[in-house]
Chain A
Amino acid sequence: GAVVSQHPSWVICKSGTSVKIECRSLDFQATTMFWYRQFPKQSLMLMATSNEGSKATYEQGVEKDKFLINHASLTLSTLTVTSAHPEDSSFYICSGDRAYEQYFGPGTRLTVT
């Protein structure tokens, strides 16, 4: 149990376009979901915390107008990277909270050309 999926697993987009990444908790309900980004050979950096039905809380330095997060239901959160630029290329990972433990998705690799 406690499976989190992400879609797509990888995406390539052109600079200036927007990309949406979905995060789903498949067998549990996640009141809270988290979004991270990870650069090669680096640790995970928390971008934002989202609670179902309310606005996301962004970490310092993360542009909320660029990284739009929607947590519409207890099993789905989405991250939209708007007007993507090459520096947004990264590995994006979500997690969901269940029974006081966080479970992570497999990640989405975004490449902006």
Chain B
Amino acid sequence: GENVEQHPSTLSVQEGDSAVIKCTYSDSASNYFPWYKQELGKGPQLIIDIRSNVGEKKDQRIAVTLNKTAKHFSLHITETQPEDSAVYFCAASYSSASKIIFGSGTRLSIRP
């Protein structure tokens, strides 16, 4: 089955700097890669996703890149703000209607 590895487990960056979180997946059949932000005591919130026919996608300060050959995908957050502090999960799936396998999560802290 699919296995998703995520690094780093914790990340602390200065406000205004960029943050990068990296993930790898094992199943070459996976073609849907969402990223979720989870705040304490809340459910995950979809922040951006990418499908296998696209190499990069950007939404304001957030971007995701996908390297299908290497089975890597990454989340990039630019101009970080205090409200970006949360746990971020990458995930992989054959399609969004099928089960999603989550990475282990990255706890992002933004230093003022």
Contact = CB atoms under 8 A, between A and B. Distances in A.
Contacts of A44: 44, 89, 102
B103 A104 contact: no
Contact of B49 (A4, A43, A97, A101): A101
- Interface residues of chain B: helix, strand, loop or mixed (majority): loop
B97 A100 contact: yes
- Which of A4, A6, A43, A109 has the most chain B CB within a 10 Å cutoff? A43
B58 to A, nearest CB: 18
A104 B97 CA distance: 13
Interface residues of B, number: 21
B62 interface: no
- Which of B34, B45, B100, B103 has the most chain A CB within a 10 Å cutoff? B100
Q: Which size class do A's interface residues fall under?
A: 20 to 34
- Interface residues of chain A: helix, strand, loop or mixed (majority): strand
A49 B99 CA distance: 7
Interface in A56-113: 59, 93, 95, 97, 100-107, 109
Given A43-B104, A43-B105, A101-B34, A93 B44 contact: yes
Interface of B: 32, 34, 36, 41-46, 49, 89, 95-97, 99-105
Given A43-B89, A101-B96, 17 more contacts: A4-B43, A34-B100, A43-B102, A43-B105, A46-B100, A59-B99, A93-B44, A95-B43, A100-B95, A100-B97, A101-B34, A101-B46, A102-B46, A104-B36, A104-B43, A106-B42, A107-B42
Q: Nearest 9 pairs between A and B by C-beta?
A: A104-B43, A100-B96, A107-B43, A106-B43, A43-B102, A104-B44, A44-B102, A97-B97, A43-B104
